[in-house]
Chains A and B, each alone.
Chain A
């Protein structure tokens, strides 16, 4: 009996859930329940996996701390995979400590990585980096090494350190082949592939083209004055001014940046920023106020000069102006970018990852659903949202910062 448990565990360790199930599918003892749960998770049957793992925790009883802790880590990872980001982090941390205390170093590291991956998903690469740097076990098994390098590459991508991301991915590719786990090999290959897809559009007055993430990185360290419409900020010489909470000001700035070095008429600015059809004196007054606010925000980096027609952007040192935009722009593009990983997201996870209110998320999802760009299944708290992946674009790479929906 015990040998079958071990064999099933071995099969799962090399990513072969079918071989594992051939050993334990007919058994209901606690270990078998746990292994069935892990196998179901490897098959993407998350709901069934959760039920089995919870059954295992109950069956193990309070004395079997180690086994229970393993189940909790597995459950946390399932929550992560099903984009249910609100699960109790505390339980995961406790499980990790239990595993460490009982000498299960491998699963303890794994638990830490599950936490780091969650932090990465909710846009906290710095915190995720602390988790990965916290321990550097001399030699990890290849599968764990792969996951570590995937996290490192994810952090590097979020920080726009593409060269570093690529070298981590090279390492991940090597160790994933050593691990010989098909799903892991494929996952690494997908990330590598995504770096070869357009991550953004570069817009100037003269042209507009798609760029890879490498070019975005180069641009960020160039001398250009960059209006970053992916993360709603302005950059010049490493200085960043965030306009995340100022959508109207950002629109004014972007319109002027796209026209640079020419000016933009007052009428056009009013139409674009206030979505107004006709322009009357009250709108012109409001425009003056908003331009004044924008001038104050941009003070160290650029001036906004009035012309006879309207306004023109003048970056310090007469630098080149470029606009960096999402590869596909639409009203709720950030939600689509998040969902473009092809996973099923809960609306609360989207709210957490974008730092939005639950209601704004719901409104965005309803709008997208009415255009058939997203679909949902399940009900109530179990409701999940997904999109058919948009081929040909790496919308996920430049995940936007939190952006209020007005």
Chain B
């Protein structure tokens, strides 16, 4: 296994009043990331900020094809991504961190409690509480490499794994003290990493020989 360094191409933030980078979602054109008091849109090609919505954005972000959903404290706000207007607000379960829209429902991850809650996106009604205490369907769709961010005691790495064996092929060390939380790749050689509590979003490139 080779030990290589990850090159940080860009850092955004920290934003004023933002303690951390939270949810990251990709709407097909832009990467949206939540940074405490804003939703920021970045053009993945130029890595430049192209838009932002001033809104409390402390946790997960999701997209249903037309609207953005953003967790903010004890509520989930439904936004028009073009105008930034809040169209509706529904209550969020306690301790919500992750968010996704799928199959007509909102799915909220309460990672501390190891629970996922299914919500009606219209009313916020809790349809189901899912305990994640049993692992189902590990059938893998991976043909190529598997990237995995690790972060322990202030040392973090981006690792490339062989999905067939789980073996670490390369590991790219991030500079000391830069964390990895949430990993989004642009499908080529760049990653968007949430910087955890640093409040930064980093664009990282891992160069292999």
Q: Tell me, yes or no, whether A binds B.
A: yes
A interface with B by C-beta (< 8 Å): 2-10, 12-19, 21-23, 25-26, 31, 34-36, 38-45, 48-49, 70, 73-74, 77-78, 81, 105-107, 110, 138-145, 147, 181-184, 186-187, 190
Residue B11 lies at the interface, judged by CB distance under 8 Å to chain A: no
Query: For residues 101 through 132 of chain B, which have their beta carbon under 8 Å from a beta carbon of chain A?
Result: 101-103, 107, 109, 111, 114, 116, 118, 128, 130-132
A26-B65, A43-B130, A182-B132 are contacts. A36–B141 as well, Cβ < 8 Å? no
A6-B144, A36-B103 are contacts. A107–B139 as well, Cβ < 8 Å? yes
Task: Decide if B109 touches A18 in the complex (CB within 8 Å).
Answer: yes
Q: For B139, list chain A residues within 8 Å (CB).
A: 38, 70, 73-74, 77, 107, 110
Task: Decide if B187 touches A141 in the complex (CB within 8 Å).
Answer: no
Binary flags per residue of B123-159, CB closer than 8 Å to A gives 1, else 0: 0000010111111111111101011100000000000
Q: What is the minimal beta-carbon distance from A169 to any residue of chain B, in angstroms?
A: 15
Residue B99 lies at the interface, judged by CB distance under 8 Å to chain A: yes
Task: Decide if A147 touches B166 in the complex (CB within 8 Å).
Answer: no
A14-B148, A22-B25, A23-B26 are contacts. A9–B141 as well, Cβ < 8 Å? yes
Q: For A45, list chain B residues within 8 Å (CB).
A: 103, 118
Which label, helix, strand, loop or mixed, suits the secondary structure of the A interface? helix
Partner of B137 from the list A9, A10, A41, A138 (CB cut-off 8 Å) is A41
Task: Decide if B164 touches A7 in the complex (CB within 8 Å).
Answer: no
Nearest opposing residue in chain A for B60, CB measure = A18
Task: Decide if A141 touches B26 in the complex (CB within 8 Å).
Answer: no
Measured between alpha carbons, how far is A4 from B186 in the docked complex, in Å?
Answer: 8
Q: What is the minimal beta-carbon distance from A132 to any residue of chain B, in angstroms?
A: 16
A18-B98, A43-B130 are contacts. A10–B107 as well, Cβ < 8 Å? no
Q: For A17, list chain B residues within 8 Å (CB).
A: 100, 107, 116
Q: For A41, list chain B residues within 8 Å (CB).
A: 136-137
Task: Decide if A18 touches B99 in the complex (CB within 8 Å).
Answer: yes
Task: Decide if B103 touches A48 in the complex (CB within 8 Å).
Answer: yes
Task: Decide if B144 touches A74 in the complex (CB within 8 Å).
Answer: no
Nearest opposing residue in chain B for A80, CB measure = B136
Measured between alpha carbons, how far is A189 from B60 in the docked complex, in Å?
Answer: 28
Task: Decide if A6 touches B142 in the complex (CB within 8 Å).
Answer: yes
Task: Decide if B100 touches A22 in the complex (CB within 8 Å).
Answer: yes
Partner of A21 from the list B100, B137, B138 (CB cut-off 8 Å) is B100
Q: What is the minimal beta-carbon distance from B118 to any residue of chain A, in angstroms?
A: 8
Task: Decide if A12 touches B140 in the complex (CB within 8 Å).
Answer: yes
Q: For B140, list chain A residues within 8 Å (CB).
A: 9, 12-13, 70, 106-107, 110
Task: Decide if B187 touches A6 in the complex (CB within 8 Å).
Answer: yes
Q: For B146, list chain A residues within 8 Å (CB).
A: 10, 13
Q: For A140, list chain B residues within 8 Å (CB).
A: 165-166
Measured between alpha carbons, how far is A38 from B185 in the docked complex, in Å?
Answer: 21
Q: For A183, list chain B residues within 8 Å (CB).
A: 114, 132-136
Q: Which 4 A-B pairs have the closest CB atoms?
A: A3-B187, A141-B166, A9-B141, A25-B102
26 contacts between A and B (CB under 8 A): A2-B187, A3-B187, A6-B142, A7-B185, A8-B141, A10-B146, A13-B138, A13-B140, A13-B142, A15-B135, A18-B98, A21-B100, A23-B26, A26-B65, A42-B136, A45-B118, A70-B139, A70-B140, A77-B137, A77-B139, A139-B167, A141-B161, A144-B138, A145-B166, A183-B132, A186-B114
Q: What is the minimal beta-carbon distance from A128 to any residue of chain B, in angstroms?
A: 18
Measured between alpha carbons, how far is A21 from B116 in the docked complex, in Å?
Answer: 13
Nearest opposing residue in chain B for A36, CB measure = B102
Nearest opposing residue in chain B for A67, CB measure = B141
B interface with A by C-beta (< 8 Å): 25-26, 60, 62-65, 98-103, 107, 109, 111, 114, 116, 118, 128, 130-142, 144, 146-148, 161, 163-167, 184-188
Partner of A18 from the list B103, B116, B164 (CB cut-off 8 Å) is B116
A144-B138, A187-B134 are contacts. A40–B166 as well, Cβ < 8 Å? no
Partner of A7 from the list B98, B102, B109, B184 (CB cut-off 8 Å) is B184
Measured between alpha carbons, how far is A107 from B139 in the docked complex, in Å?
Answer: 6
Q: Given A77-B138, A81-B137, A190-B133, list of 14 further CB < 8 A pairs?
A: A3-B187, A6-B144, A9-B141, A13-B140, A18-B107, A22-B101, A25-B101, A26-B64, A39-B102, A42-B135, A43-B116, A70-B140, A106-B140, A187-B135
A77-B137, A187-B134, A190-B133 are contacts. A139–B165 as well, Cβ < 8 Å? yes
Give the one of B102, B107, B135 with max A CB within 10 A: B135
Measured between alpha carbons, how far is A19 from B100 in the docked complex, in Å?
Answer: 7
Q: What is the minimal beta-carbon distance from A172 to any residue of chain B, in angstroms?
A: 11
Measured between alpha carbons, how far is A138 from B111 in the docked complex, in Å?
Answer: 33
A14-B148, A183-B132, A183-B135 are contacts. A7–B166 as well, Cβ < 8 Å? no
Q: What is the minimal beta-carbon distance from A8 to any residue of chain B, in angstroms?
A: 8
Q: For A187, list chain B residues within 8 Å (CB).
A: 133-135
Q: What is the minimal beta-carbon distance from A112 to any residue of chain B, in angstroms?
A: 12
A21-B100, A21-B102, A186-B134 are contacts. A10–B114 as well, Cβ < 8 Å? no
A6-B187, A78-B136 are contacts. A18–B142 as well, Cβ < 8 Å? no
Measured between alpha carbons, how far is A301 from B100 in the docked complex, in Å?
Answer: 63
Give the one of A4, A31, A49, A182 with max B CB within 10 A: A182
Task: Decide if A70 touches B141 in the complex (CB within 8 Å).
Answer: yes
